[in-house]
């Protein structure tokens, strides 16, 4: 059974994949991958997973995983930018008995919160505690 790697890829991975395709067309011999391309691949892998990105970009899984791991310093803090992206897509469901909020990490870990009064919750602190940001 053959899988099509390019099917249903997020736009971030598609963009980085296009950069790799363009670079591979013009490179000469066994030229090393430029650091800018590695940074783009690492960013995509942090968001969508090392396996998915390594397959889509034609990169060695172990090398990409090492580079993703190198972005994390001692104590689990990122050595790069401290910016954290959080998308709020309106999945706060107000019901007669309260409010349900679901948070999900890039790796798939989920947290579901049910509260009676959503105005009394410090959502920023809750997000920071869950995501470690």
The residues spanned by each domain of the chain are 11-76, 93-131
- What token pair was written down for 32? 């090393």
Alpha carbons 111 and 8: distance in angstroms, whole number: 26
Q: 């009394």: which residue's tokens?
A: 120
What integer pLDDT is reported at residue 71 of this predicted model? 65
What integer pLDDT is reported at residue 108 of this predicted model? 74
Alpha carbons 57 and 69: distance in angstroms, whole number: 18
CB atoms within 10 A of CB 109: 10
What integer pLDDT is reported at residue 130 of this predicted model? 80
- Whether the CB-CB separation of 57 and 33 falls below 8 Å is answered with no
Higher model confidence: residue 75 or residue 93? 93
């Amino acid at each position: 059974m053959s899988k099509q790697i390019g099917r249903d890829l997020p736009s971030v991975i598609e963009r980085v994949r296009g950069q790799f395709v363009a670079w591979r067309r013009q490179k000469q011999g066994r030229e090393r991958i430029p650091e800018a391309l590695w940074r783009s691949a690492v960013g995509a892998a942090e968001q969508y997973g090392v396996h998915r990105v390594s397959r889509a970009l034609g990169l060695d899984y172990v090398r990409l995983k090492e580079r993703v791991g190198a972005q994390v310093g001692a104590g689990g803090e990122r050595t790069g930018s401290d910016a954290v992206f959080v998308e709020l897509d309106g999945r706060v469901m107000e019901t007669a008995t309260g409010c349900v909020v679901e948070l999900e990490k890039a790796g798939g870990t989920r947290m579901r919160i049910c509260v009676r009064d959503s105005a009394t919750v410090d959502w920023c602190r809750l997000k920071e505690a869950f995501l470690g940001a």
